[in-house]
Structure 1
Amino acid sequence: MSEKNISCMKKINEAIRLNQFDDLSNLEEVWVFGYGSLIWRPVFRYSEKIVGKIRGFHRRFYQSDMTYRGTPEFPARVATLLKDPTAEAETYGCAFKLSGKNEISAGIKYLHTREVEKAGYSVTVEEFHSCESPPIPALVYTATTENYYFTGKQSMEELSDIIANASGLAGPNTEYLFRLAEWQREFLPLVEDDHLYELTRMTKEKISKIESEN
C-alpha cells in the first residue's frame, strides 16, 4: 500500500474510533466495499467502481433482514462477513470511490443510515485488492455477533428455505441471492464460492418444489 493510502487508512480508522464520520468528507476520496446488493444496486453517487476482493473474511448469509427483503414476521437472510481465523479467505465484490466533499458526505450518510442505524452493521477499514490498482483502504460494513440481527451459523437447508419464501419492501429474498450469484459468475467466472453457489442451487430447488405443489 502506498504512503498516501496508509495515511488515508489511519485517518479513516481514527474517524471510526471517534465515531466522527463527518470528518471523512474532508478527505480527497473514500472507497466503500460492497459484497451484497450494493454490487448490483448502488443507490448512491460514486466516481469509480472496481471489481476486486478483501482478504481474511468469509461471506455468509447469517444476517436477518426485516425490512428490505423480509418482514418482522418472516425475516429474510442477507450477507455479512465473518473473520477467517486463518486469514486465508477472500471475499469478492466491488469498491466504489466517493470523490469530493459532497459525494463523500452524501454517500457516507446514506450508508450509515442504512447499514449502521437500521441494520446494526459495524464499520471497519480493510485493504481492497484488484488488478486495476495497488491496495487501497476501503470502508467495510459487517454484522458482528453482537448485532441483534445476526443469526449465527445456519444450515444450507434452513437458509434456502427462508430465502425461497421471504420478501420485503425491496422485493423477494431470492432476487438478492440470485443477482449476487449471477454477478459473480459473470465477472469472476474462475472464482469458486461454495457457500454462495450451493445456497443458490438449493434455493432454486426449493422454488421448483413450491411451484410444482401449487
Structure 2
Amino acid sequence: MRHFWVFGYGSLMWRPGFAYARCETALLYGAHRSLCVYSYVHRGTPERPGLVLGLDRGGTCKGLAFAVEPENWQATLAYLRKREQATMVYKEATRTVRLASGESVSALSYLVDRDHEQYAGKLDLQEQLALVQASHGQSGPNTDYVMNTQAHLKETGTHDPALSWLTRQLQSGS
C-alpha cells in the first residue's frame, strides 16, 4: 500500500493531531530546525509574539516522518493546512526524507517563508529566551512549546544545542 508522508520537526513530533499508520525517525537534507518564526496565534499574539520553529534553508534536520493511509490523506491535509497555515508563514513543500529504516520517501514539509513578516531570522539566545518567557497564545505558553519539543527531541536521540540551552534556562527560572 502506498502511503503519504508528513515530516514533523517541532510540535508535530509530540502532537501530530492526525491518524497515521507508521512513524519513523527521519532526516531531511537542505533545511534545519530553527526558532525563527514569530508566533502570532499558537504561542503568542501580534502584540506579544512568541517564537516557534521553522525549517530554514541549509543543513539537515532530524525529525519524525508519519505515514498516512490514502483514505485519510485529504482529511490530514486539510487539518495540517488549517494548523500550519494560519498566517501563511510556511511554504508547503514536498521534500525527500531518509527514514531510519534506510528508505527514502517524499514527505509533506512546512518550510519557513523568509519573505513573510513573521520570519524572525537568526536571533541570539538571550532574545529567544526573552520572547519565549513573555508569550502565550491559543495553544498555551511558549515555554511549554520549547520544553515539549526539547523533550521529544531527546527521545529521538536528537541534540539541539539552542533548544537545550533554552530549556535549561526556562527550568532554572532565568
TM-score of the alignment, normalized to the shorter chain, above 0.5: yes
> In the alignment, what sits opposite 1:150?
119
Aligned counterparts of 2:39 and 2:47: Cα–Cα separation in 1: 11
Q: Out of 26, 32, 38, which is 1:64 matched to?
A: 38
Rate the CA distance shift 1:60–1:75 in 2: closer, same or farther, 3 A.
same
TM-score of the aligned structures, taking structure 2 as reference length? 0.91
**1:74 is the counterpart of 2:43:** no
Report % sequence identity.
29
- How many residue pairs get matched? 174
**1:128 is the counterpart of 2:97:** yes
> In the alignment, what sits opposite 2:83?
114
The answer for unaligned runs of 5 or more in structure 2 is none
Aligned counterparts of 1:119 and 1:36: Cα–Cα separation in 2: 17
**1:183 is the counterpart of 2:169:** no
Q: Out of 15, 26, 32, which is 1:52 matched to?
A: 26
TM-score of the aligned structures, taking structure 1 as reference length? 0.75
In the TM superposition, what is the alpha-carbon distance from 1:117 to its structure 2 partner?
A: 4.4
In the TM superposition, what is the alpha-carbon distance from 1:62 to its structure 2 partner?
A: 0.9
More helix by share: 1
**1:195 is the counterpart of 2:143:** no
2:152 aligned counterpart, secondary structure: helix
Rate the CA distance shift 1:94–1:55 in 2: closer, same or farther, 3 A.
same
Higher relative contact order (CA 8 A, sep 6+): 2
The answer for unaligned runs of 5 or more in structure 1 is 1-26, 210-214
Aligned counterparts of 1:196 and 1:129: Cα–Cα separation in 2: 23
Runs of 4+ in 1 over 3 A off after TM superposition: 202-205
| Contact kept? 2:65, 2:99, Cα under 8 Å | no
> In the alignment, what sits opposite 2:61?
91
Q: What is the identity, as a one-letter code, of the residue corresponding to 1:64?
A: Y
In the TM superposition, what is the alpha-carbon distance from 1:148 to its structure 2 partner?
A: 2.3
Rate the CA distance shift 1:173–1:106 in 2: closer, same or farther, 3 A.
same
| Contact kept? 1:161, 1:203, Cα under 8 Å | no
Aligned counterparts of 2:20 and 2:87: Cα–Cα separation in 1: 22
1:163 aligned counterpart, secondary structure: helix
Larger Rg, first or second structure (1 or 2): 1
1:64 aligned counterpart, secondary structure: strand
| Contact kept? 1:123, 1:142, Cα under 8 Å | yes
- Over aligned residue pairs, what C-alpha RMSD do you find? 1.8
**1:172 is the counterpart of 2:141:** yes
More strand by share: 2
| Contact kept? 1:51, 1:95, Cα under 8 Å | yes
Aligned counterparts of 2:36 and 2:89: Cα–Cα separation in 1: 13
1:56 aligned counterpart, secondary structure: strand
Aligned counterparts of 1:41 and 1:97: Cα–Cα separation in 2: 15
